[in-house]
Structure 1
Amino acid sequence: MRTITEGVLESSQCPECGTEIQADSRFTKWCPACDWNVDPGGPEPAKGRLETLRRTLARRHGEKLLATMTSDTAEERQRADRDVSGVLAYAIALLIHGVTAVLAVAGIWCVVSGWGGFLMVPGLFLLALGWALRPRLNRLPKDEDNGVVLRRPDAPELFALIDEIAVSAGTSGVDAVAVNAETNASVQTYGLRDRLLTLGLPLWESLSPEHRIALLGHELGHYGNGDTRRGLVLATAYRSLGLWLYYLSPIPNPTAVQMITNLAYVVPRLVVQGVLMLLDTLTLRATQRSEYLADSAAAQAGSTEAAVGLMDRLLVAGSIDITLRREVNGRRMRGGGRARGAESEGLWEELAAHVDSIPEFEYERQRRVGALRGHSVDATHPPTHLRRRRLLDGTPVSGVVAADGERFARIAGELAGARGVVAREVVRDGFDGM
């Protein structure tokens, strides 16, 4: 029986130009000569006004921002991060938090001044509203939330690597690492200033040591370059606006009274959505700039070659998801739908073998798809083909952090428990993707 790491190679002629093409049965058949069938699905349409705005702004800034990033000096980039748009974004964020504070203060005043009287009713309402709309700080996830949270004593070698890469990115390390089943990696602040790095095992296990260094360099680079959206003030403002939109969302299948409530929500909802769109307008360029700078941090840590290779691996994240879902479903069927230990063994090794077997022409197809779709895939990130071009057109760097095989073997040992836990969770609960 063929495994997921094996495909059937086929030769055929392109129906458009007649060129002989090679295809792997696991992937889309396409023609490198004329781009026939290179993107059969096409980009998904934008969902809602906010996503439409983001794509419009991203297209407007795309090539222009790349040219700026190629020519700007470090001092000019730092100045750009403190431009008028950034100041206005912070002012709006503070105003958002100020609204919540006003609600709370007004509620306290009503309760105190109207103690025992009618004013206590609106006072308690305002206090409840202020509490519901308060800015939320991120929390450290718990192990029972899916995945495993590691502290420094749990994985000293991993944290030492993170610290070394953080120095190369001009920042400090993290306080915790969350290991889960997402095909992704990210950093965020929890509490007031503690840092959390999230490593999704489907992505981590499919990367080489060099790519892993570049991945950590990119994520920590967001702290080193002062990514404003990840800062406490703006991040909590975005979360507050999202919460406000949730509370103001129309009630589905409303009764007569609920229809009146929905109508009353229209204007406040449009105001909140307008503020959110304004914040996006003010910060999107800086956010995309921070992605370019994070790519530079990835190259500085691991090398230009490793950073570009990491981008290629991220292009096939969809294939990683499909493969893992197929493998998990097969193991669940063999185990009768029950999560026994044997069904999860070798899961990550099988996934890594699949990624290693992906042919170069599939990577090339994904690169061309990215160029065709541009900012329509993810408007908050520059298109991958522009990010690759910037690194490849610049002066190559060799990277300052060595990909020591013995070191990564020790890190693998530290992650062994988490790998087993996450594999068992995935087989038990199924895999939903990124």
Structure 2
Amino acid sequence: MRTITEGVLESSRCPQCGTEIQADSRFTKWCPACDWNVDPGGPEEKKGRLESLRRTLAQRHGEKLLATMSTDTAEEQRARRDVYGVLAYAVALLIHGVTAVLFVTGAWCLVRGWGGFFMLPGVFLLLLGWALRPRLNRLPKDEDDGVVLRRPDAPELFALIDEIAEASSTRGVDAVAVNAETNASVRTYGLRGRLLTLGLPLWESLTPEHRIALLGHELGHYSNGDAQRGLVLGTAYRSLGLWLHYVSPIANPTNALQMITNLAYVVPRLLVLGVLMLLDTLTLRAKQRAEYLADSVAARVGSTSAAVGLMDRLLVTDSIVITLRREVNSRRVRRGGQTRGTEGDGLWEELTAHIDSIPEFEYERQRRVGALRGHSVDATHPPTHLRRRRLLDGAAVPALVAADDERSARIAAELAGARKVVAREVVRDGVDGA
């Protein structure tokens, strides 16, 4: 029986231009000469209003920013960044100021109206201010999804991160969270703690060179002073998200009170959305610039070819998700004959084998589809094809941190427990879409 890593290669003629084309039975048949059937699925489905706005702004400004980064002097770039940055910080401080006003007003009502009517609104405002207070990120716990590693748990992995951080002119991280996301990210927790999140579906699909570029990209957000990872803007975004949650309409209202409540939420919700969109607009250039600069760090640390190859792997995250879903379904069917606790065994090896078997013409198709659709990792990243073009247009640079097979093996051994835990979670809970 053929496995998911085996496809049938076949040759045929393009029905549109007659060029001979190669196809793999697992992937879309298309023509590189005339782009026949290059994107049979068409544009992606529309997202929510906020998500759609973010993607539209990201695509609109991605090319403009790429052009200005190529032509503007460092002083001109800094001036633009400073103007938008000051305005964004002003909005963020106003957001935090609303919470402060609630606390101060509530305390004033309690003091002035002690024992009288004003105690009621005072208590209400204090409780409201407490509910809407800005919250710092917290370190995930092992009872949450995935596994959290500290330095004693994975000394080789942290040593590699420290080496890449030094090459990126920043410091390393304090913890690494390994989970089932098809992604990687960095964020702060508490006041100064740094957390690196590694999604195993992405990590396991990468070569050692790609992994160094990935770590360089993530740590590059710190070395380039990405304000979005900072305390003021980060907590402002989380506060707005919390406010939006509190004024979300009740789904499928069943009585008059719920319908009246939904009507009362309309204006506050529009105000919160308006402030969120304003903050997105002010920070978009800085976010996209941070991604371009982080790509530069990825290329400097892991080499230009590794950074470009990493972006190609990001284009096939749909294939990663589909492969995992097939494996999960297969394992659930065979569950009766499996020993408890072994249902995730071999999952990552199957994924790696599938990714390694993807032919180059499928990567090329994904690159062209990405350019047509404006593919990006999320709603705030510049389009992937622009990020790729920027690296290829510049001078190719070698890696500052070389991939080492022995070190890679030691890191794999350190992650063995996490790989087993996350594999079981994927089989148990399934995998989210890319």
Report the 3-state secondary structure (helix = DSSP H, G, I; strand = E; otherwise coil) of the residue aligned with 2:401. coil
Give the TM-score of the pair, scaled to structure 2: 0.96
CA apart distance, 1:375: 5.8
Partner of 1:392: 392
CA apart distance, 1:113: 2.4
Partner of 2:84: 85
Partner of 2:418: 418
CA RMSD of the aligned region, Å?
1.7
- Residues 349-368 of structure 1: matches in 2 within 5 Å? 349-368=349-368
CA apart distance, 1:261: 2.1
Give the partner amino acid of 2:326. Answer: R
Range with greater deviation from structure 2 (301-310 or 63-72): 63-72
Partner of 2:6: 6
Q: Does structure 2 conserve the Cα–Cα contact (< 8 Å) formed by 1:222 and 1:294? A: yes
Partner of 2:103: 104
Partner of 2:137: 138
Q: Cα gap change, 1:337/1:429 in structure 2, threshold over 3 Å: closer, same or farther?
A: farther
CA apart distance, 1:231: 1.3
The gaps in structure 1 that reach 5 residues or longer are: none
Q: Cα gap change, 1:72/1:303 in structure 2, threshold over 3 Å: closer, same or farther?
A: farther
Cα distance in 1 between the residues matched to 2:42 and 2:363: 17
Cα distance in 2 between the residues matched to 1:189 and 1:227: 12
Cα distance in 1 between the residues matched to 2:300 and 2:75: 18
Report the 3-state secondary structure (helix = DSSP H, G, I; strand = E; otherwise coil) of the residue aligned with 2:173. coil
Q: Does structure 2 conserve the Cα–Cα contact (< 8 Å) formed by 1:332 and 1:338? A: no
Deviations 1:90-119 (A, max 9, x none): 000010001011101111222232222211
Q: Cα gap change, 1:375/1:407 in structure 2, threshold over 3 Å: closer, same or farther?
A: closer
Cα distance in 2 between the residues matched to 1:381 and 1:387: 9
Give the partner amino acid of 1:152. Answer: R
The gaps in structure 2 that reach 5 residues or longer are: none
- Residues 18-33 of structure 1: matches in 2 within 5 Å? 18-33=18-33
Deviations 1:113-171 (A, max 9, x none): 22222111111111111111111211111111111100011111111110111112221
CA apart distance, 1:28: 1.1
CA apart distance, 1:73: 4.7
Cα distance in 2 between the residues matched to 1:19 and 1:294: 40
Partner of 1:180: 179
Partner of 2:318: 318
Q: Does structure 1 conserve the Cα–Cα contact (< 8 Å) formed by 2:376 and 2:384? A: no
CA apart distance, 1:42: 2.1
- Residues 87-236 of structure 1: matches in 2 within 5 Å? 87-236=86-235
Q: Does structure 2 conserve the Cα–Cα contact (< 8 Å) formed by 1:367 and 1:385? A: yes
Cα distance in 2 between the residues matched to 1:71 and 1:157: 41
Give the partner amino acid of 2:104. Answer: V
Q: Cα gap change, 1:348/1:377 in structure 2, threshold over 3 Å: closer, same or farther?
A: closer
Cα distance in 2 between the residues matched to 1:13 and 1:327: 33
Give the partner amino acid of 2:146. Answer: G
CA apart distance, 1:45: 4.1
Cα distance in 2 between the residues matched to 1:26 and 1:233: 47
Report the 3-state secondary structure (helix = DSSP H, G, I; strand = E; otherwise coil) of the residue aligned with 1:343. coil
Range with greater deviation from structure 2 (103-112 or 396-405): 103-112
Q: Does structure 2 conserve the Cα–Cα contact (< 8 Å) formed by 1:182 and 1:433? A: no
Deviations 1:189-238 (A, max 9, x none): 11112010000111111111100000000011111111122211111111
Matched, 1:287 2:287: yes
How many percent identity over aligned positions? Answer: 83
Cα distance in 1 between the residues matched to 2:337 and 2:276: 44
Q: Does structure 2 conserve the Cα–Cα contact (< 8 Å) formed by 1:133 and 1:243? A: yes
Range with greater deviation from structure 2 (287-296 or 245-254): 245-254
Cα distance in 2 between the residues matched to 1:51 and 1:190: 25
Q: Does structure 2 conserve the Cα–Cα contact (< 8 Å) formed by 1:174 and 1:195? A: yes
Matched, 1:264 2:284: no
Give the partner amino acid of 2:234. Answer: A
Deviations 1:29-65 (A, max 9, x none): 1111111111111222443432343234234323221
Deviations 1:70-102 (A, max 9, x none): 2345555444432x1110100000100010111
Q: How many residues align?
A: 433
Cα distance in 1 between the residues matched to 2:421 and 2:47: 36
Matched, 1:305 2:339: no
Tell me which stretches of 4 or more aligned residues in structure 1 moved more than 6 Å: none
Give the partner amino acid of 1:154. Answer: D
Q: Does structure 2 conserve the Cα–Cα contact (< 8 Å) formed by 1:332 and 1:339? A: no
CA apart distance, 1:239: 1.1
Give the partner amino acid of 1:302. Answer: G
Cα distance in 2 between the residues matched to 1:169 and 1:46: 37
Q: Does structure 1 conserve the Cα–Cα contact (< 8 Å) formed by 2:50 and 2:277? A: yes
Report the 3-state secondary structure (helix = DSSP H, G, I; strand = E; otherwise coil) of the residue aligned with 1:144. coil
CA apart distance, 1:67: 1.4
Give the partner amino acid of 2:96. Answer: H
CA apart distance, 1:10: 2.0
Cα distance in 2 between the residues matched to 1:427 and 1:158: 26
Range with greater deviation from structure 2 (119-128 or 297-306): 119-128
Range with greater deviation from structure 2 (142-151 or 243-252): 243-252
Cα distance in 2 between the residues matched to 1:166 and 1:126: 45
